[in-house]
Copies of this chain bind each other. A is one copy, B any other.
Amino acid sequence: MSDFIKSVNVQDIRFPTSLEKDGSDAMNKDPDYSCPYVTITTDSGLQGFGITFTVGRGNNIVCEAIKLLSHLVVGQELSSIFADFASFWRSLTSEDQIRWLGPEKGVMHLAVAAIVNAVWDLWSKIEQKPLWKLLVDMEPEQLVSTIDFRHTTDTLTKEEALEILKEMQAGKNEREQLIKETGYPAYTTSCAWLGYSDDKIERLCKEAQAQGFSRFKMKVGSDLQDDKRRAQILRQTMDPSHLLMVDANQKWEVQEAIDWMRELVHFNITWIEEPTSPDDILGHAEIAKVLKPLGIGVATGEHCQNRIMFKQFLKAGAMQFCQIDSCRLGGVNENLAVILMAKKFDVPVCPHGGGVGLCEYTQHLSIFDYIAVSGSIEKRMLEYTDHLHEHFENPCRIKNGNYVVPDVPGYSIDMKASSLADYEWPTGRVWQALIKEGVYKV
């Protein structure tokens, strides 16, 4: 394995999802699910693929950011990266001049994620294991060597992380066996986007139940009466034992969130997701304090920019459900840091899925979490939406409302050649047709 990284290539891939109002919520009216698609190629011709998720315009900016970082990647020896992945990771997040543009947040951090995720894909393929299994089989020392603990040691040191992992070695094989049999619990967001009609919501909820789903998420926050009516439809359609979560996508002020949720309390809501600004740790803590006695937890994380923010959300009791994002955070390495911190605070990790590729990614993180860190699926579930899986060579699979444990080597993000050709912006076949029709313009 004295292989070197020879090239980093990136393609601007976008899907015209806004045409169907898929993915519409209180803050994102018309998302076109998109991703920079990174291909890392080594001297010997090995390839790893990685993405980060965006919702359309600006995907090209992240592609440019990936190109900017490429000089830190090309020429690196794989064995050196794998021996000290934390240092490689820090070289990407802390480059002397580029760091100013974050640090560790926004466009540049999304770019880091795509690159880092591609390196993990490559590693998993070399080891001939799905990513979750690569992680699960690592010695605790090796696993923590991939994590940059900078600016988190007041809350989680390398030594504490090691201790957690060592303690959870017991029972790993049994849990691996069990989760392969049962699958990992999923919930669906696909029934109740904000742009969907009442009829459509009812129909989709029935269909989802028939497929085995028992956990549902509804978008809220634009109109209280609408929210009540839609919650009513869902609750009437759902089995009483089923779980209902709601998601405001950052729409509210702190007090507004509290007032609004009080109005929805009798619908038996498991969590309110993103009630206000994703940067507002103290605001979330205030909301959580009021809603906790009402049985409603606060969930957030898909816009939580890095481990340092997660650290504070956890410390402040501002987050009862920890929604890591495989791409918003700087790839697998930083997700591992947050998974370990969440364990310390006994907060369940329920990753952000949906978009394009997020379900493919996060299944690995949650399965690892279950087998090697949390050891529990209590209060834990993985988001599922039914978009765009057809573009992946090895899409995630749902069976009876649970994710099927993936068994193909890698991080499950290889996109089909035909999809790459059709959806590259703006030159792909599908885009050229839409541009010609005047539906989109460059």
Contacts and interface: CB of A to CB of B under 8 A. Distances in A.
A295 interface: no
A3 to B, nearest CB: 26
A106 interface: yes
Contact of A305 (B31, B107, B279, B283): B279
A30 B96 contact: yes
B58 A100 contact: yes
Interface stretch (A133-141, A263-271, A306-314, A376-384): A306-314
A102 B106 contact: yes
A396 to B, nearest CB: 22
A96 B28 contact: yes
Interface string A103-143: 11111111000000000000000000000000000000000
Interface residues of A, number: 60
Contacts of A283: 151, 154, 312
A76 to B, nearest CB: 18
Interface string A273-285: 0001111111100
Given A61-B61, A255-B154, A100 B286 contact: no
Report the copy number of this chain in the oligomer.
2
A65 B55 contact: no
Nearest to A27: B99
A306 B278 CA distance: 12
A305 B278 CA distance: 12
Interface string A30-54: 1110000000000000000000001
A278 to B, nearest CB: 7
Contacts of A28: 96-97, 99-100
A99 B251 CA distance: 13
A10 to B, nearest CB: 13
A434 interface: no
B151 A305 contact: no
Interface of A: 27-32, 54-58, 60-62, 64-65, 68, 94-110, 150-151, 153-154, 250, 253-255, 276-283, 286, 303, 305-306, 308-309, 311-312, 315-316
